[in-house]
């Protein structure tokens, strides 16, 4: 893989992790503040959303990595 593609995959990893962290914070804050639950209930209630977001981020990363590794057409 070229150096430029390595930089692209690192940048994608950074943004996907950042997306997951933002979703985690937003969902936890929303559940915790607006439903009058304690923090542990907020974490347990938000777990399915985090799981979906984390799974999609991982799939997107694997797909992008695979797409960058492919050999260009001649």
Rg (CA), the chain: 17
pLDDT for the residue numbered 21: 94
Contact of 13 with 60, CB cutoff 8 Å = no
pLDDT for the residue numbered 44: 81
pLDDT for the residue numbered 9: 92
pLDDT tens over the chain, length 74 residues: 788 888 999 999 999 999 999 998 898 888 878 777 677 877 788 889 989 999 999 999 999 999 988 866 55
């Amino acid at each position: 893989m070229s150096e430029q593609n390595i930089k692209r995959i690192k940048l994608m990893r950074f943004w996907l992790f950042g997306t997951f962290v933002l979703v985690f914070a937003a969902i936890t804050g929303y559940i915790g503040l607006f439903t009058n639950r304690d923090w542990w209930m907020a974490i347990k209630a938000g777990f399915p959303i985090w799981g979906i977001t984390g799974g999609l981020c991982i799939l997107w990363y694997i797909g992008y990595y695979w797409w960058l590794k492919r050999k260009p057409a001649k």
